[in-house]
Structures are given as structure tokens and as C-alpha cells.
Amino acid sequence: MPVISDPYSFNEEDLYVDLQAICGQPLFLKCEGFNFAGSIKLKPAIEMVEAAERAGGMTPESVLVESSSGNMGVALSVIAASKGYRFLCVTDSRCNLSTRLLMEALGAQVHVVTQPSPHGGFLGARIDYVRRKCAQNERYVWLSQYTNANNWKAHYHRTAPAIARSFPGLDVLFVGAGTTGTLMGCARWFRRWHRPVRIVAVDTVGSVTFGGAPGRRMLPGLGMSVRPPLLDASYVDEVIEVQEADTIRACHHLARHGFLFGGSTGTVVSGAVDWLTRCDTQALTAVAIAPDLGERYLDTVYQANWIQDLYGEDVLTGNARPHADRRGSRPAPSARSPGRRP
């Protein structure tokens, strides 16, 4: 029986959903949302905060500040409330209303950027605002999840070893690409493992992370409008790009079977199922990482009017089984030779 005294001490690390019966492919989904922050972001958040504390960068007067589309902001709100820090989350208009309200309920201040930067999109505008705040007042401490190595180290130390313990015969791992902290931590760890594991990154169409053309992205979470500084594509074997309409379909397909997941998870599942459909999966052990749950998407992904206004009335009709962008997958830039992987 776990007994805790702070909200970041508990995280369910060993829960998986077998999606074979739901999606028709051999895929285990690692559920990362069962903690007091509701997402995988709790792990890198506490890693970054405690590293700043060890380095002497935090005082009782410090104000944590971070740019986030949602889940990292909630995780830092939880930690700041527990440790007695003030926290300013800089987000943008795509952030779900329920997420903003949750951060404010935890005592965080939320600033919403409404205009994208001409060159860096909403992310660039958020980072510009954070930099201005830090330049104006030295009490602000910017953890910079986009450049902070403790972001990926959290997954190197915790997420990847947990997967290896549960699946010692792992062949392929599907990881969503946002800041690429989860992707890089897991990829680096499995590069050193005793057996080859194929690392497949799942991105959203409109993201520039792997060199794609920038485009409209309405769902927070995965995808970037600037290339992630943490990314080293040499650790990635393939990239799958998923249309947001397919993310929506995947989320609803899972929900019809009783599993309410968030948009990032829908994207990963859609990409993974498409990859497995196109490959010989006999005796293949595949795991995908589900970063979030679905409660914070009730007014977007699971709201009919919102879906129809953005993606059309037919987005949920016809074949509801999740599938990736029909351009399929492609090797990651600077990827390793596929001959080294299953």
C-alpha cells in the first residue's frame, strides 16, 4: 500500500493495455497518466526542478516559469504547489480550457499568448515572452524543457528501464515526439541494451521536428514549430506522421472500448497501428507509450461541434479504425541503417 507525503512521489509505472482485440494488431500501450499530474510530464518536471535545486538556482523567492502547451504546465503546477514555489505557465490559445483551469486551481499563474511569432509560431511567441520576463526580473527561473537535458534523463533513468523490465523481448518502441525528451531518453537507453530495439518516432503532420513543412496544428502536445534542441535523429529509425483527423478517430475508437485517452496518445496509437499493419508482425513484441489521459480533452477531441468546425462533419464517419497519414513512414534524418533493427 503506497503512502506518500508529496504528490510527485507516486507514479504508476507498470500499467499496460493490450490493444490486440481493439486495434487488430499486437500492441501494448504503456499508460503514463496515472499520477497526480495526469501525464508522463511529471517525471521530467521533478527531474528538472530538483536539478535546479541541487545547483543552487532555487530560493524561496524564486518564481518558476515555463512554456507549455498543457501537460508540463500541470506537472510543474503540482510540484510548485507541493514545494511552495510560485509558478508562471506561458501557454497559447490551443491549450485546453480544463488544463488552464486546473493549473490555476493548483495556484499557478497562466499567461495565454494569442498571436504566433512570424517565424517560430506559437512556441516561438511563448519563448519570447518567457525570455522577456526573465530579463525583467532575476527571481524568474526558467527550466527550459526544450533544452534541459534532465528532460530526457528522466526517461533514461525511469521510463525505458521500466519497459525493459516488463518486455525483455521488446522489438519495436513507438514514442510520440514533442520536446523529444521521452523519445531521446528511451532511444539512448535502448541503444545500450543487450538486444536491438527499433525506435519509431510518431509526429503530427504540420510539425517541423523531422524536417516536415509547417502547418496548422490544433491539438496541444506532440509536434513542434521549431526543431527541438534535444533531438538527435541518429537514435531514431523511422518517423511516422499522423494527420490530426486520424488522431481524433483513434481517440474515439479507443473511447468506444472504454479507454479515454488524450490527443497525444491518439496520435501515437494511430501511427503505431498503421506501422504494424504494413509490417510482418508475426512474433513481434511492440510497445507504444501513452503520455496522457482524456479528461482534459472533453471540450475538444471529444466535443462534436469542435471536431466538426475544424475537421469537417465526416471525420468520425466511415472506418473509425486508427490509421496514420497515408504518406506512411520514412527514415529519420541521419537515422541508423535499418539493417541493425528487426
Domains of the chain with bracketed CATH: 16-34+155-335 (3.40.50.1100), 42-142 (3.40.50.1100)
The verdict on pTM exceeding 0.75 is: yes
d(CA 201, CA 203): 6
SS3 category, 263: helix
The burial class, CB within 10 Å (0-12 / 13-18 / 19+), for 325 is buried
What is the per-residue pLDDT for 331? 66
The burial class, CB within 10 Å (0-12 / 13-18 / 19+), for 271 is buried
d(CA 284, CA 276): 9
Q: In whole angstroms, what separates CA 167 from the centre of its chain?
A: 21
What is the per-residue pLDDT for 226? 84
d(CA 46, CA 53): 10
SS3 category, 186: helix
What is the per-residue pLDDT for 14? 95
What is the per-residue pLDDT for 314? 83
What is the per-residue pLDDT for 169? 96
What is the per-residue pLDDT for 328? 53
Q: Which residue type occupies 253?
A: H
What is the per-residue pLDDT for 207? 92
H/E stretch holding 132: helix 121-136
Question: Average pLDDT by consecutive 10-residue portion of the chain (342 residues)?
Answer: 91 96 96 96 97 91 92 96 96 89 96 86 89 92 95 98 97 96 98 96 94 85 87 96 95 97 96 93 92 94 92 73 49 48 41
